[in-house]
Amino acid sequence: MSIFSRLTDIVQSNLNALLDRAEEPEKLIRLIIQEMEDTLVEVRSSTVKIIAEKKEIERRIADLTRERDEWDRKAEIALTRDREDLAKGALMAKTRAAEQADALAQQLVQVEEALSKANDDIARLQAKLTDAKTREKTLVARAQTAVNRVKVREKLHDDRINDALSRFEQVERNLDELEGRVEVHDMGRKKSVAEEIAELEATHKVDEELAALKARIAGRKGV
C-alpha cells in the first residue's frame, strides 16, 4: 500500500459529509482535523527520508562520475607509456563506474518523482487542513443548527399528535362523567306526583289515539 493512500483518502473526502453524522458534530469535525494534522506530520517525515535518499544518490553519482573520469585519465597515461594492457584495465573500470552511475541516475529519477508527488500531496493536504480549520466553527454551527431543527420539528410533530389524542381522551372522559352524573341522579329516586300524572296523561293520550285508529279501520271495513 502506498504511504500516501491514507492522505489521498482524506484530501478527497468531503467535510460536509460529517453533517450526515449529527451526533456530536463538534467532536467529529475536530477528529477529522486531528487526523489530517497527524497525516501531514507522517507525510512530511516520509518526505524527509526521500530527500535524504535523493541526496545520497546524488553523492554516489558524483563519486562515480569522478571515478569514471579518473579511470579515463589513468587509461590515457598508461597508453602514452605503451602500457596498453593497463589502459584496457583502466577503461574496463571506467565502464563499470559509468554503468553504476547510469543505474543510479535512473533510480534518482524515480526518487525525484516520488518527492514531487510528496510535495504535491503535502500542499494539497495543507490547503485542505487550512480550509477545514477556517471552516471548523461554521461547520459545527451548521451541523448543530441542522440537528436542532430536526429535534424541534420532531418535538412539534410529537406534541401535536399527543395534544390531539389528549384532547380527544379528555372529551371522552367528560362525556363519561356527564353520563354518570345523569345515571346517578336517577338512581333510587322516586317519581314525583307531577311526573306520574304526566306519564298517565301521556299513556291516556296514546290509548285514545289507538282507539280512534281502531274505529277508523273498523269503519272502512263496514263500508
Q: How confident is the model at residue 203 (pLDDT cuts 50, 70, 90)?
A: confident
Rg (CA), the chain: 52
Q: Is the pLDDT assigned to residue 121 strictly greater than 80?
A: yes
The pLDDT assigned to 34 comes to 85
pLDDT in tens, 13-32: 545 555 555 556 677 778 88
Residue 11: predicted pLDDT: 47
Q: How far is CA 203 from the centre of its chain?
A: 82
Highest mean pLDDT among 101-115, 171-185, 192-206: 101-115
The mean pLDDT of 203-215, rounded to a whole number, is: 73
- 166 vs 56, residue with greater confidence: 56
Q: Evaluate if residue 133 carries a pLDDT over 90.
A: no
Rounded Cα distance, 22 and 16, in Å: 11
Distances (CA, A) of 161 to 2, 117, 148, 156, 165: 56, 59, 20, 9, 6
pLDDT recorded at residue 88: 92
- Greatest mean pLDDT among 36-40, 87-91, 170-174: 87-91
By CB atoms closer than 10 A (0-12, 13-18, 19+), residue 10 is buried
User: Looking at the domain that runs over 5-157, which CATH code has it been given?
Assistant: 1.10.287
Q: Please, which pLDDT band fits residue 1 given cuts at 50, 70 and 90?
A: very low
Cell reading at 181: 352524573
pLDDT digits (tens, 9 = 90+) for 59-107: 999 999 999 999 999 999 998 888 888 999 999 999 999 999 999 999 9
